[in-house]
Each structure stands twice: as C-alpha cells, then as structure tokens.
Amino acid sequence: MGVELITNVSEYEKLAKEKLPKMVYDYYASGAEDQWTLKENRDAFSRILFRPRVLIDVSHINMATNVLGFNISMPIMIAPTAMQRMAHPEGELATARAAASAGTIMTLSSWATSSVEEVNSVGPGIRFFQLYVYKDRTIVRQLVRRAEMAGFKAIALTVDTPRLGRREADIKNRFTLPPHLVLKNFEGLDIGTMDKTNDSGLASYVASQVDRSLCWEDVKWLQTITSLPILVKGVMTAEDTRLAVENGAAGIIVSNHGARQLDYVPATISCLEEVVREAKGRLPVFLDGGVRRGTDVFKALALGAAGVFIGRPVLYSLAVDGEAGVRKVLQMLRDELEIAMALSGCTSLREITRAHVLVAADADTTVPRRARL
C-alpha cells in the first residue's frame, strides 16, 4: 500500500513494521508482559457507542480549544515518545514542525534524540516537556531550566515509572539505542549510557538513573524550581486525583504509559470518568492510550477529557513518511472528529456531553430487564 492510499491512522503501523528494524519496531509497538492492557486500550473504545442527535444545524463546526491558557486548533495533541530519530532521521524536529503546522501541542520526551534547544530552533510552536526525575536532582534542575529557556510551556511529569515495566520484546532483542544516536538532552553529562546488556539496555539505564523514591512531595518540590504548570502523567484513580489536586498539579494525564508499565491495569478510557468525577472541574483531565480514530477522541471528550494525546500513531507515521506522515495523521484524526461531531449533532467541543455516548455499563441500567433476557 502506497502512502497516498492510506485512509486511516492504523494503516501506518503495518507500513512502519515493514520499514523499521525489528528491534526498533518492537520497542515502539510492544507493551508489558502479556500485553493484555495493550489490547484493552483499543478494545475498550469499541465498547462505547454513540447516541447521536439529529436535525441540528452542523454547517459550522468549531474544534478549537484552550489548554493551560494556550489556544490550539483541536483537542488532539502529541504525547511524549522517546527516541524518535530511530523512526526517521529528523525525528522530533519533524514532529515539532508537524504539530506547529496543525496548530497543536507537541510534548517532547526527556529521552528524545533531539534536544530542547534543537526542537526550539525549528520555529514557533506550543511545546510541553516530559520529565523523568533522575536520582541526581541537579540534572533535573538543569533540564527544567533548559526547557524554560527553550520556550517550553509546561512540564508533563511522568509518575508511573519508578521502574521500567517488563517489556519482553526488548529483553529478547536486547534493546539499546542505535550507536549513531544519543539521548540529546543528556549529551555531555556524566550519567551513564544505554549500553547493551543481557536484557533490555533501557531497563538497566532506568534502574541506574531514575529516582524510585519519587513521591507527592516531589511534585511540590518541582514547583519550587519552575514557574511552569505541571501536568501529572500516569494517574488512573480517584485517590491519586485527589492527591494531584492537593499537591498543586495544573492538570492530569490519565495514562498507563501506552500499556508498557503494569499489565492488567484497565484501559485509560475506562479510568477516565473516575478521575474526572474526582477532579470536580478543579483541574483539566487529559487522556492518552489507544487513540486511533477521531471517534475515540469524541468518546474521550464525552466522558470528560479536556483533550487527548497520541503517541504510537506519531511514531509510525514518522517512520513511513517523516513530517508529512505526522501531518497526515493529525489531519485524519481532525477530519474524523469533525465528522463524528457533525453526525452526533455537536457544533463545538462544549456541546459534546456524556449524553452523546453509551458505555457498556450503561446498557445494564438502561435496557429493561425483560429485554435483557
């Protein structure tokens, strides 16, 4: 299938698998252990159905929204994904240009193969910086300061990775960063490298560098070293939502790390309502994980998300067609969301409500008992 014949986001994955080295594709595509959650992140969306409204004037549809004070063209943003130059020589720079051209937000991974300064150099755009907290807090201070200086607008603090999940494909492949690439934000720092080991080189690197003692007090500490808003990425429960609010988070990203950490956690879309209910509008709640269609975006918005972040679709499209691929993915999702809104009778994001969807659990309460038998 040629690039010009691609009609949906998922078709990029098959082409990327054909194009990428096995070690790289497996790293991007795999989940933890049995990969049950990896599949469930997608399957859970299919259990949410629409309740469309009709005879509404949908000749003008507005998908614009505001995230942490920044106006963007649509509620679809780019999640942090590591080592994008493994997918394409321009890596994160191509992704940054595509996001800017689409009028949306890109989140740069700490483990990017392009530095915050390089990404800033491609031109204007609204960018967030994803942060892993290292044992050496001096490194954290330096990273945050550099992100601020490079014009990044928020910190997405990843909180679900005190250890790396057991990703068996990486163990089999003895995954490590290809020798011509480096984690650019750490270039020149004496913090060890991602070397080949008997299992996953990344897992060994994380074990040696990332701070396992990270706790809620550190969210407050982070606020003492930066004025940037802090999104807490990796929250899945009401209890942690309450703590995020209490500890001054500017927002929450409901995330299971692309199903790469703890297997057999629910899909993020299944956790979303619990988090939104507890947040009580005190801070915005976003979602990542499993989004492959504009209809998925609509469903997340209907369940209370302020927007979604996409990860793997960016990597696959980047591998297949560079910046043009990422642009196309963003455009396809935008077009699909627009159609879903029109066919549901919604002309703006605020008109998308819980009443527009039927979740599987709802069916048990709405279908008369006799009909259920």
List the binding residues for FMN.
80-82, 109, 130, 158, 233, 255, 288-292, 311-312
Backbone angles phi, psi at 372, to 5 degrees: -70, -25
User: Under 8 Å CB-to-CB from 178, ≥6 apart: which residues?
Assistant: 24, 86
Active site residue 180: no
- Checking DSSP bridges between strand 127-131 and strand 154-158, what pairing results, if any? parallel
**CB 357, CB 51: distance < 8 Å:** yes
Binding site members? 27, 80-82, 109, 130, 132, 158, 167, 233, 255, 257, 260, 288-292, 311-312
- Among residues 60, 88, 180, 257, the one annotated as catalytic is 257
Binding site members for glyoxylate? 27, 132, 167, 257, 260
As a three-state string, the secondary structure of the chain is CCHHHCCCCCHHHHHHHHHCCHHHHHHHHCCCCCCHHHHHHHHHHHCEEECCCCCCCCCCCECCEEECCEEECCCEEECCCCCHHHCCCCHHHHHHHHHHHHCCCEEECCCCCCCHHHHHCCCCCCEEEEECCECCHHHHHHHHHHHHHCCCCEEEEECCCCCCCCCHHHHHHCCCCCCCCCCHHHCCCCCCCCCCCCCCHHHHHHHHHECCCCCHHHHHHHHHHCCCCEEEEEECCHHHHHHHHHCCCCEEEECCHHHCCCCCCCCHHHHHHHHHHHHCCCCCEEEECCCCCHHHHHHHHHCCCCEEEECHHHHHHHHHHHHHHHHHHHHHHHHHHHHHHHHHCCCEHHHCCHHHEEEHHHHHHHCCHHHHC
**CB 56, CB 347: distance < 8 Å:** yes
Task: Report, as residue numbers or ranges, the catalytic residues.
Answer: 257
